[in-house]
Amino acid sequence: SAVISQKPSRDICQRGTSLTIQCQVDSQVTMMFWYRQQPGQSLTLIATANQGSEATYESGFVIDKFPISRPNLTFSTLTVSNMSPEDSSIYLCSVEQDSGANVLTFGAGSRLTVL
């Protein structure tokens, strides 16, 4: 299965700033997915990132707050904009492990703490 590297692994941020999380995959994939895990909560899909087109956002998530780039088939970034303490979460990048099987491989996550 694909190997996913995420950076940063963790960061402490100030309110009102923005942070970009990078996701690198060791093989070409069509779709990449960004999830959020808030403290004590389950994982929630933020958006799906396709190469060459706009990301598709889930209900409750908007592009202005979570802009996503997908410049090629192995890389994506998620930016968390104008952060508030409520954005303190683990953000995870994932790709489909087996085409069409809905089996996802996840990165180790980026743990953000907003003060």
Partner 1 sequence: GDSVTQMEGPVTLSEEAFLTINCTYTATGYPSLFWYVQYPGEGLQLLLKATKADDKGSNKGFEATYRKETTSFHLEKGSVQVSDSAVYFCALAGGTSYGKLTFGQGTILTVHP
Name the site residues for partner 1 (rule: CB under 8 A).
4, 31, 33, 40-45, 48, 58, 92, 94, 96-97, 101-109
- Nearest CB to partner 1, comparing residues 14 and 42: 42
Least distance in Å: CB of 33 to partner 1? Answer: 5
Which candidate, 71, 27, 81, 20, places its Cα nearest to that of 50? Answer: 71
Taking the least distance from each CB to partner 1, the nearer of 77 and 94 is 94
71's tokens: 């410049």
Closest by CA position to 63, among listed 88, 34, 38, 86: 34
Minimum CB distance to partner 1 smaller for 100 or for 115? 100
> What's the closest the beta carbon of residue 113 comes to partner 1, in angstroms?
17
